[in-house]
Structure 1
Amino acid sequence: MSKTAILVCAGTALAAVAAPSSASASAIARPQSPTRVVVDCFYHPQVRPATFLIACADGNNYLTSLHWSRWGQNAATATGRDVVNDCKPYCAAGKFHSYPAGVRLDRVRRWNGQSQHWQYARLTITYPGARPADTPRSMTYPLWS
């Protein structure tokens, strides 16, 4: 009888000591949802940017007026305007034209080896109506990392 009482008391004490430890360990071990970002030309991570430069070298193509309807774990979607220089007769003398565009970001991967940021690595632009000359209805670009 005394052996049973000792075992019950020891088991109860062990359970009391272990419960807070395992509860706090599970709270610590539970990872927060990593931030999804799109990386710009200057390697700055952005979340839901209002504008996004596509042609980094010369600035002749960029997205503006972006309104994000989704910024999820696997993809982000927005509507906005694609502003493109026609480069006629050459880019420095060209005119900028603006086109309505749907934007999708996807192909999520770890950014620059940092666990707190995951980046969208691909950009797809879809034109619902007018679009730049010699441009298909949908264009896909790999993004910087």
Structure 2
Amino acid sequence: MRAHTVRTALALGALASLMAATAPVSASAGEQGRTAGRPPVLVDCLWHAQVRPADFVLACGDGNSRLVSLHWSRWDARAAVGEGVNMVNDCKPYCAAGRFHGYRVAVRLDKPLTWKKQPKLRQYTRMTLTFKDARPERLPQSVTYPLWS
């Protein structure tokens, strides 16, 4: 019986350690001063805070537009700047049968504000994509999106 109790205690301790290590980025009241120096985050479709992500879904509802192969040259308190590829479904003849096409883009994130879900973090609230070469039909060379919060 004692061996079972010890194993259970060890398993619960390991689980608690794992949960603490994988918990979402947040700050306790004692960390408030340290969070001010943290860079803003990019909030994804699943409400996860990301810093310098390699990919990002723009069309959360259907996944028909996403950024891939992102490389960031700047990520600070005011803005983030990077480059990547915008993969866009042409939806011809309809989206389920459409093909994805890649368009090289420059990405800029800015207008950081307090994140409503985690008030101790700031999140970028605007994204601007500038197409470097070709671009999807009906889109201008540069397009700006508000980001969800």
TM-score by length of 1: 0.77
Compared CA separation, residues 29 and 37, structure 1 to 2 (3 A) = closer
List 4+ stretches of structure 1 deviating above 2 A: 28-32, 113-116
In structure 1, the residue matched to 2:33 is: 31
Instruction: Please give the secondary structure, in 1, of the residue aligned with 2:125.
Output: strand
**Counterparts in 2 of 1:29 and 1:42: CA distance versus 1, 3 Å:** closer
The RMSD of aligned alpha carbons is: 1.7
The change in CA–CA distance for 1:93 and 1:136 in structure 2 (over 3 A counts) is same
Identity score, percent:
53
**Taking structure 2 as the reference length, what is the TM-score of the superposition?**
0.75
Distance in 1 of aligned mates of 2:138 and 2:32: 50
Q: Please, which of 135, 141, 145 is the counterpart of residue 139 of structure 2?
A: 135
Whichever residue aligns with residue 41 of structure 1, its letter is C
Show structure 1 runs of 5+ residues with no match.
1-27
Higher strand fraction (1 or 2): 1
Count of residue pairs brought into register by the alignment: 118
Bigger Rg, structure 1 or 2: 1
- What does residue range 1-145 of structure 1 map to in structure 2 within 5 Å? 31-32=33-34, 33-112=37-116, 114-145=118-149
Q: Does the 8 Å CA contact 2:39/2:75 hold for their aligned counterparts?
A: no
Cα distance in 2 between the residues matched to 1:67 and 1:34: 20
CA contact (8 A) 1:51 1:63 kept: yes
